Chains A and B, each alone.
Chain A
Amino acid sequence: MSTSQARLIAMVDRMPAFPQTVGRILEMTARPDCSPKDLVKVVEHDPVMTMKILRLVNSAYFGLTRTIRSINHGVVMVGINTVKNVALSVAAMGMLPRKNQAGFDTNEFLLHSLGVATVARLLAGRIGVGEKSAPDYFVAGLLHDFGKVVLAQFMPEELRRALELAMDGSQSLHLAERTVIASDHAEIGGLLAASWQLSPELVGCIRHHHDLSVNGDWGIMRDCVFAANQIVRSLGFGDSGNRVIESFPPALEERFGHDLPELIETIGDITQELEKAKIFLKL
């Protein structure tokens, strides 16, 4: 690992979560009757909070035999009180600023992440991923763009330039990022997920969510996140700074049995589902 990578990982370790979540976690945990499922729900609406909780419970220092893949899985494995206190320790780091120098809209980003999470999970069910693994797909959707929050926080000027390059839809944001910083949010997100010992499936999925030419054991998860990403963008739910909607290559059409427009048709009306997220986040 290079020095700059190590420095980035150390900085992200201290990165706070989104204000919507931090406020609510502090409020909820102050009550002794804090409901476990409400707590999980709040955490699951925040990619930073989710990522950091998974990072802490999966740390090698702590040494669980099994990788904890979702917040609910964490509740079963380490107990709700430990999850609650880990969430509180993340909340205590402060909160991400509502406005950043990159001009990156964090509210729209949250909606995009939640949209992709919801649709990725739905697609997983469609293609026969078992009930046991389906929550992992929600997590993968939620965390796929984690690298963008990192850029907004630690390289705002570079992200601003990339956002400008991608604004007219002539190129995908990750390609614009590569022009500016010779890396992209997928690579950065993947690097962080790997250094935090998250599941190899999640690491591969985050790392390659824009690059369908690379395949691995994480291929199904990545394909679901890729497809969900295009669907959510087509529906105009949220905004992650990327305007390009990519069509499905043959392998993906085969996976889902449809091209992108058909798939959108067949999954039916999910706006209600997505709107629920919006209301929950009070956006």
Chain B
Amino acid sequence: MRFTLWGVRGSIPVPGPHTLRYGGNTTCIEVRTDDNDLIIFDAGTGIFQLSQTLFKEMPLKAHLFITHTHWDHIQGLPFFIPIFIPGNSIRIHGAADPVTQRGISDVLARQMEYAYFPVREAELNARIEYVNLHERQEVQVGCAKITNLLLNHPVLNYGYRVECNGKSLVFTGDHEWPYNIYTPEDDYFEEFEEMVAEKRAGIMEFFRGVDALIIDTAYTIEEYPSKLGWGHGTFDASIAAAREAGVKRVYLTHHEPNRSDDRLEQVFQEAVARAALGPGDPEVVLAREGLTIEL
């Protein structure tokens, strides 16, 4: 199994001289199974670059898994070229929405409404299927098994775990470690604490022992207090989680749009130094657009 990062930026694409090394595109990850089956996590602007590499494989079968439907994870979808070409087959997986009680099929149809896009979803030439995933539902793609777990973000966000011939990978999508909304003097403090601990333990189990954990690491610990509840992780929390879950390598992603390459490297190195990693700890890598890793 191997994966390629096509977009590592959070929130909004930021092309320009300050993001040349790590990239300005929003989230998209290509995963190839040992049989070269194509799995894609998220359809941020990075998916456009990915789509340029796929022409030689057409007619194509793509298995797209959406972690959540915030713009930076879906805005490239109408520009995923294979959807316009007959003979291609795209299966889009994701969570249904408890607020609107509508399925993941809305994701493309709504982006492609008349006011926002010149081509309607109904006019797409590829065969497009939608799969509303239940939590922990298993999906088989060739030799790979993909499962999901609900993580914590201001909209439903599934983290995905892929296992293929003994290798494994987790991508969190966007995730903030759940925290207690009560203070110790509140009645609910202790029971909430227990529920948070249980949730964390479930997530740890989901991450357990993977070869690669690709995790939302938007903020520094200095920035975090003013971003509480925004649904993103910190360098320190991501490294600590990777360590606790015994993962082999952790890729820190969802870089802040305002963070230049130089600054990104600086805050990364500071966090790694703070973590004082030792033997047996995971290798910590800063996610970079274009990076391909063979597991």
Contact = CB atoms under 8 A, between A and B. Distances in A.
B95 A79 contact: no
Interface in B98-157: 98-101, 103, 132-137, 150, 152-156
A228 B178 CA distance: 33
A86 B178 contact: no
B195 interface: yes
Contacts of B135: 63-65
Interface stretch (A54-62, A101-109, A196-204, A249-257): A54-62
A82 to B, nearest CB: 6
A95 interface: no
In order of increasing CB-CB distance, the 5 nearest A-B pairs are A63-B134, A81-B154, A36-B181, A76-B195, A85-B99
Contacts of A57: 98
A135 interface: yes
Contact of A80 (B95, B133, B181): B181
A79 B231 contact: yes
Contacts of B134: 63-65
B139 to A, nearest CB: 13
B153 A79 contact: yes
B188 interface: yes
B182 interface: yes
Interface string A147-168: 0000000000000000000000
Nearest to A135: B191
* Tier of interface size on chain A: 20 to 34
Nearest to B190: A131
Contact of B178 (A59, A76, A85): A76
B265 interface: no
Contacts, number: 86
A82 B155 contact: yes
B137 to A, nearest CB: 7
A131 B191 contact: yes
7 contacts: A56-B99, A59-B101, A72-B192, A82-B99, A82-B156, A131-B190, A132-B195
A63 B154 CA distance: 18
B132 A63 contact: yes
Contacts of B98: 56-57, 59, 62, 78, 82, 86
Interface string A31-43: 0000011001000
B96 A61 contact: yes
Summarize B's interface: helix, strand, loop or mixed: loop
Interface string A78-119: 111110011001000000000000000000000000000000
A184 to B, nearest CB: 30
Contacts of A59: 98, 101
Interface of B: 95-101, 103, 132-137, 150, 152-156, 178, 181-182, 186, 188, 190-192, 194-196, 198-199, 229, 231
A163 to B, nearest CB: 34
Given A61-B103, A85-B99, A135-B188, 8 more contacts: A61-B132, A64-B150, A75-B192, A76-B198, A79-B153, A131-B194, A132-B194, A132-B195
A37 B181 contact: yes
A89 B97 CA distance: 12
Contacts of B96: 61-63
Contacts of B154: 79-82
A77 interface: yes
A9 interface: no
Most A C-beta atoms less than 10 A away, residue of B98, B135, B178, B196 = B98
A73 interface: yes
Contacts of B153: 79
A78 B156 contact: yes
Nearest to B152: A79
Contacts of B137: 63
A8 to B, nearest CB: 19
A78 B178 CA distance: 10
A78 B150 contact: yes
A67 B231 CA distance: 23
A63 B148 CA distance: 12
Interface in A130-148: 131-132, 134-135
Nearest to A133: B191
A89 B98 CA distance: 10
A131 B197 CA distance: 13
A40 B155 CA distance: 17
Nearest to A69: B195
Contact of B181 (A73, A75, A86): A75
Contacts of B186: 37
A281 B246 CA distance: 49
